Structure 1
Amino acid sequence: MDIIRGSGNVFRDLGHPNADREQLRALLAAKIIGVLDDRKLTVRAAQEMTGVAAADFSRIRKASLGRFTIDRLMTILASLDQEVEITVNVHPRHATAPAALHP
């Protein structure tokens, strides 16, 4: 069995265009889901609390993020009384594939 070490971004590993953007959206969505779970909020209760449509919370729970911008996800987190802090590191991309490890 070969073990392949990923890059830390599954979208990049699978060759998705805009992989970094997709990764950030997935991370923000995961944080939203975590807040809902921690507070035991239904999508309807979250709607009442934030004014964000219950259908949007349902889409986030299903990881159907196509219609959400990073800004929109950050706004939803803010409406859930969360402070979002993002650190950006910029460096040249490496064209190499993830390294394979053999047991």
Structure 2
Amino acid sequence: MNDEPFEIVRGSGNVFADFGHPNAEVEQLKALLAAEIIGVLDDCALTVRKAEEQTGIAAADFSRIRKVKLDRFTIDRLMTILKRL
């Protein structure tokens, strides 16, 4: 075991900024919106197909959000999806 002291570094609250992502604020907001969308889907026990039926938004989009593949989404698009839910 290593007996050398180590430094604890507190994060900024934005993991994307902590790891040096260039658009950290945008990535953080997209992640928060996706988490809200996933929460609504879970709370309402909606499959991606049921969510598509209720919102008119493609099931594939809900699948991407569930997998946190957010590169295709703008903040406005995520907000629209959340509003429709």
What is the TM-score when the length of structure 1 is the normalising length?
0.76
Q: 2:81 is matched by which residue type in structure 1?
A: I
Q: Shift in Å at residue 4 of structure 1?
A: 1.9
Number of aligned pairs?
80
Unaligned runs of 5+ in 1: 81-103
Identity %: 75
For the pair 1:11 / 2:11, whether they are aligned, the reply is: no
Distance 1:55 1:2 in 2: 44
Say what the alpha-carbon RMSD is for the aligned residues.
Answer: 0.8
For the pair 1:45 / 2:56, whether they are aligned, the reply is: no
Aligned to 2:3: none
What is the TM-score when the length of structure 2 is the normalising length?
0.91
Distance 1:79 1:2 in 2: 46
Q: 1:44 is matched by which residue type in structure 2?
A: R
Q: Which has the higher contact order (CA 8 A, sep 6+)?
A: 1
Unaligned runs of 5+ in 2: 1-5
- Residue 4 of structure 1 aligns to a residue whose secondary structure is coil
